[in-house]
Amino acid sequence: MLYELTQVTKRYTQRRKQVDALAGIDLTIDEGEFLAIQGSTGSGKTTLLQMLGAMDRPSGGHLLFEGRDLAKLGEGDLSELRSHSFGFIFQAFNLIPTLTAQENVETALVPWHVGAAERRGKAEEALAGVGLADRAKHIPSELSGGEQQRVAIARALVRSPRVIFADEPTGNLDERTRDDIIGLLEQLWRERGQTLIVVTHDTWVASRASRRIWLDRGRIEEQEAPDDDSDLDARFLAQAGVAAGVK
Ligand SMILES: Nc1ncnc2c1ncn2[C@@H]1O[C@H](COP(=O)(O)OP(=O)(O)O)[C@@H](O)[C@H]1O
Ligand SMILES: [Mg+2]
């Protein structure tokens, strides 16, 4: 079990108004799942992703990641988790406009204090992994939306995180590019065995996931049972094939 959430709540207070963005979430997530979180605007999807990704702490309940309660960890431990265990992909790509694709990917390795040559090598490899080796020297404004999102995916993957979080990763893309990007995420998920958690209100995107949950006003309104093993078996066989050098 990678995650175990019991009665997780998040209350935001703005001026005198209180919003219960999460109103008691019970959820478990296994290592290697591809989980889609669906729900209408304001239902708490981004908030849930931020809690899972240690970007913020819950107001109540328990949120265990590998047995450690993220609600109780200090800022140093949370920051360590963010930089070593988690990768994030956003709707608006969030690339630095003045840096090249290569440099944008390298920024993810800055907290690691690795040497420049290693940083360059890892970033090149990550860009090649998303099919952008030949665009490495371009700045974001010289790239299409789909290419910018590929750079952002490379930036998330370059640290080989345990969990990849994507918040509406195809929300700014046209339908064909959406299919490319989800196809790429799905391929990377199959090849690498990382856990992938995607927030989306796009039913087609969610249909690619191995499991879906629906949020409504901060609660899980509906959830699919964890997948039977058929899909995971296919992945493990594929990975075993890769490991054994079988084409
Ligand atoms: N930082 C914040 N301060 C105050 N209210 C917030 C904050 N972030 C989100 N909210 C509120 O919490 C609720 C859930 O928001 P969010 O998680 O962003 O939903 P979704 O991603 O499903 O659209 C909304 O009512 C939103 O206005
Ligand atoms: Mg959101």
Q: What is the pLDDT of residues 164-184, one digit of tens each?
A: 999 999 999 999 999 999 999
Report whether 119 contacts 195 (CB < 8 A): no
3-class SS of residue 168: coil
> Does residue 10 form part of some domain?
no
In a domain, 109, yes or no: yes
Q: Residue 166: nearest ligand to its CA? A: 2
* Cβ of 21 below 6 Å from ligand 1: yes
Nearest bound ligand to the CA of residue 171: 2
53 part of a folded domain = no
Distance 45 CA to ligand 2 centre (A): 5
Question: What was the pLDDT predicted at 112?
Answer: 87
Is the beta carbon of 122 within 6 A of some atom in ligand 1? no
Q: Judge whether 108 lies within some domain.
A: yes
pLDDT digits (tens, 9 = 90+) for 6-60: 999 999 998 889 999 999 999 999 999 999 999 999 999 999 999 999 999 999 9
What pLDDT band is residue 246 in, cutting at 50, 70 and 90?
very low
Domain, as residue range, for 145 = 100-160
Q: How many domains does the chain have?
A: 1
Q: In this structure, are residues 47 and 208 in contact, taking their beta carbons and an 8 Å threshold?
A: no
Nearest atom (ligand 1) to Cα of 50:
17
pLDDT score of 243 more than 90: no
Q: What is the pTM for the complete model shown?
A: 0.90
Specify if 147 maps to a domain: yes
**Interval 100-109 mean pLDDT:** 97
Residue 117 belongs to a domain: yes
| Residue 15 counted as domain residue | no
Summarised one tens digit per residue, pLDDT across range 121-177 is 999 999 999 999 999 999 999 999 999 999 999 999 999 999 999 999 999 999 999
Contact of 195 with 37, CB cutoff 8 Å? no
220 pairs with which residues across the strands? Answer: 215
Tell whether 127 is covered by a domain: yes
43 lines ligand 1 (CB under 6 A): yes
The reported pLDDT for the residue numbered 137 is 97
Give yes or no for residue 19 CB within 6 A of ligand 1.
yes
pLDDT at residue 223, as a whole number: 81
46 lines ligand 1 (CB under 6 A): yes
The answer, yes or no, to whether residue 238 has pLDDT greater than 60, is: no
As a whole number of angstroms, the distance between CA 194 and CA 157 comes to 10
